[in-house]
Amino acid sequence: MNEEIIRLQAIKKYYDESTHVLENLNLIIHKGAWTSIIGPSGSGKTTLLNIIGCLDSATAGSVFINDTEITKLNQTQLTRFRRENIGLIFQQYHLVPYLTALENVMMAQYYHSVIDEEKATETLKKVGLGHRLDHVPSHLSGGEQQRVCIARALINEPKILLADEPTGNLDQKNGEIVLNLIRQLHTEGHTIILVTHNPDIAKLGQRIITVIDGKICSDSTCSSEINEK
């Protein structure tokens, strides 16, 4: 459990001179860990996650994932690296509206390598959607859509799962289904980083990192600050 999988060194992210989103951020994440990132809205959580997820690039600093310095990769290399190593779970699910649940999952296979309908079906069954394969997103509930999104994130067997407020748009019941699923994936060995602004959900992780104004405060020192606000 002590093997390091992600290392962020002196990460800075500026959109322009006046908006410093991330300030000199250092972070090491261990393989198989469940890390929760918590913080108020606009503090830079999504930006941080996007940088780890190779969706966004840092203005300065280095990011290492599995000993690859991704901050040195070009756009195409980043895309390839991402599809091999990272599964993304979005708050808005971002399913393709005209494709069925099965096809949405298969699309990720297609852009990764080759499609395998059986495996895609298998994965959807795993998230409890075996009976919803041919439904388009508009015929699925929010919880079901999020589970399709999770199946899609899992389909290419990435080691790292990044979830940005995965339950943000869900009611309590569906939120729990999704969180249970994530918990199961964690026990199966995935490294999980989950962004949330809900402290109760953050507590599901082994480690809670609080981000405020683009800076990390260790969980113990900062949780009290949040409560004060």
- List of residues contacting ligand ADP (CB under 6 A): 15, 19, 21, 39, 41-47
Residue nearer to another protein on the CB measure, 169 or 206: 169
**Residue 169 amino acid letter:** N
Which residues, numbered 10-69, are part of the site for Mg ion (CB under 5 A)? 46
Q: In this structure, what token pair is assigned to residue 82?
A: 């991402």
Residue nearer to another protein on the CB measure, 155 or 208: 155
Residue nearer to ligand ADP on the CB measure, 42 or 130: 42
Helix (H) / strand (E) element for 119: namely: helix 117-126
Give CA–CA dist 212/1, Å, rounded.
Answer: 28
**Residue 131 amino acid letter:** H
Choose the one of another protein, Mg ion, ligand ADP, none that binds residue 97, judging by a C-beta under 5 to 8 angstroms depending on kind: another protein
Per the document, the length of the chain is 229
**Residue 226 amino acid letter:** I
Q: Nearest 5 degrees, angle CA 10-CA 43-CA 35?
A: 70
Residues forming the site for another protein (CB under 8 A): 46, 50, 53, 55-56, 75-76, 79-80, 82-83, 88, 90-92, 94-99, 103, 106-112, 115, 152, 156, 164-165, 168
CB 188 to Mg ion: min, Å: 26
